[in-house]
Amino acid sequence: NEGKGMGMKTDDCATAAICQECHHEIDNGSHLSREERRCLMNRAIVLTVIKLVRMGKVVPK
């Protein structure tokens, strides 16, 4: 969670459309390293942006 901290929210551009189970695993997964959790979140963000572009909700410049 880049740029996130106490009282700070991550930028809306870094939103990932994932289920509660995946969200919990990425945020609290004790069997995953911090790097593994960050990689999973980055992948989820990219897949979300791709889906939004394909739906016409986000238009790349």
pTM for the whole thing? 0.77
Given a contact cutoff of 8 angstroms between Cβ atoms, the answer to whether 49 and 58 are in contact is yes
Q: Is residue 20 part of a domain?
A: yes
Q: Is residue 34 part of a domain?
A: yes
- Provide the residue range defining the domain that includes 27: 15-54
Q: Is residue 21 part of a domain?
A: yes
Q: Is residue 37 part of a domain?
A: yes
Span 2-53, pLDDT tens digits:
666 667 777 778 889 999 999 998 888 788 998 999 999 999 999 999 999 9
Total count of domains within the chain:
1
Of 58, 25, 54, whose CA–CA distance to 41 is shortest?
Answer: 25
Token digits of residue 28: 């609290």
Token digits of residue 32: 């995953």
3-state secondary structure of 13: helix
**Of 1 and 25, the one with more pLDDT:** 25
Q: Is residue 48 part of a domain?
A: yes
Q: Is residue 46 part of a domain?
A: yes
pLDDT on residue 44: 95
CA–CA distance, 10 with 27 (Å, rounded to integer): 13
